[in-house]
Amino acid sequence: MGKIAFVFPGQGSQYLGMGKELFQNYPSAERVFAEADHILGRDLSGLCFNGPEELLKKTENCQLAILTTSIAALQVLKAEGIEPDFVAGHSLGEYSALVAAGALDFATTLSLVAKRAQLMAGADPEGKGGMAAVLGLDRDSLTTCLKHEALSRMVFAANFNSPGQIVISGEKKALLKAKDLVEANGGKFIDLPVSGAFHSQFMREAADLFQKELAAVNFQEQEVPLISNVTAHPVNSWQLSEELYRQLFSSVLWEDTINYLLTAGVDTFIEVGPGKVLSGLTKKISRQVNLYQTQDLNSIKKILEILNKV
């Protein structure tokens, strides 16, 4: 067996009931949810388990909910003796990866994500920005589309998720023009239900404000390598503040991250947190890997049954 990577999902992976089975069956997970409720001074665990869904989907709630659910699943794996050789997270998921790497404790990370979510949610009060998934175009073809004069400095590549799946971000009127260009080149354009142009230059002001929060954080030496969203390479503790600042307005290089991990000898990817979005993306990058999730009790039991036999 090769090496193991823990990968942590980002915004959009939330769903009603996430983490509930872990909370009910594992004391280590229950403690994480209780800690989050105490730190935040509100019933985040109840929102994860029972909703309402419209409230859970809000940026300032779902980021905290996904982080907490992911760390609850992480603690279950650690209590069972499952440890990673590498960690990585998709956008918001990078904060869960920071905890898994030992760079930050959960309490500090929760407070940091609360501020991040607040700034991102308030970055576009007039609702001028948006995001869309582009399917069926490679990087070069999409880059050519984005160089069109109507899109220059208005639409950006936000997430390079997998071959043939790239998310773009920008001003809504320019996104309509991007739709025409994408479809004219044989691609598919899907609007995404988000509240702003995340991972684009439209997040620069929010990032500048967030940089002040990051400056006060003391990042510890990592216990396992963390692969950066911004560079798709390992990032050192002294680089984390700058990396997390740049992450808000830079492309998420997820396909590159998975390829780096494959080259480093990883053949087992465990998606630690709600859903299985990252498993689906990884399968499109390589079909020669083992993929596991932690979204419910059966998923956890499957991981323990298989990995404990190795």
Q: What is the CATH number of the domain that holds 179?
A: 3.30.70.250
Q: Is the pLDDT of residue 265 over 80?
A: yes
CB-facing half-sphere around the CA of 89: CA atoms within 13 A: 27
Give the pLDDT of residue 309.
Answer: 56
Residues 274 and 206 in one domain: yes
Residues 46 and 152 in one domain: no
Closest CA to 196 of 128, 115, 247, 118: 128
Residues 207 and 273 in one domain: yes
What residues contact 242, with CB distance under 8 A and at least 6 apart?
none
SS3 130: strand
Ramachandran class of 15: left when φ > 0, alpha when ψ lies in -120 to 50, beta otherwise? beta
**198-226 confidence digits (pLDDT tens):** 999 999 999 999 999 999 999 999 999 99
Give the pLDDT of residue 243.
Answer: 98
**Catalytic-labelled residue, pool 70, 96, 162, 199:** 199
Give the pLDDT of residue 81.
Answer: 93
Domain boundary among 173, 192, 211: 192
Residues 166 and 183 in one domain: yes
Residues 31 and 96 in one domain: yes
Domain boundary among 192, 211, 228: 192
**Catalytic-labelled residue, pool 13, 45, 70, 91:** 91
Residues 159 and 234 in one domain: no
Q: Is the pLDDT of residue 310 over 70?
A: no
| Adjacency order of strands within the sheet including 155-162 | 155-162, 165-171, 129-135, 188-192
Give the pLDDT of residue 307.
Answer: 83
Residues 183 and 282 in one domain: no
Residues 94 and 233 in one domain: yes
Residues 46 and 133 in one domain: no
Asked whether the whole model's pTM tops 0.85, one would answer yes
Dihedral angle of Cα 176, 178, 182, 188, to the nearest 10 degrees: -50
Q: How far apart are the first and last CA of the chain?
A: 8
Residues 187 and 250 in one domain: no
Residues 297 and 207 in one domain: yes
Question: Is 141 an active-site residue?
Answer: no
**169-179 confidence digits (pLDDT tens):** 999 999 999 99
- Residue range(s) defining the domain that contains residue 175: 129-192
If one counts the domains in the chain, the total is 2
Domain boundary among 140, 174, 192: 192
Closest CA to 181 of 149, 222, 216, 207: 149
**69-108 confidence digits (pLDDT tens):** 999 999 999 999 999 999 999 999 999 999 999 999 999 9
The CATH number assigned to the domain holding 299 equals 3.40.366.10
Question: Is 162 an active-site residue?
Answer: no
Residues 104 and 135 in one domain: no
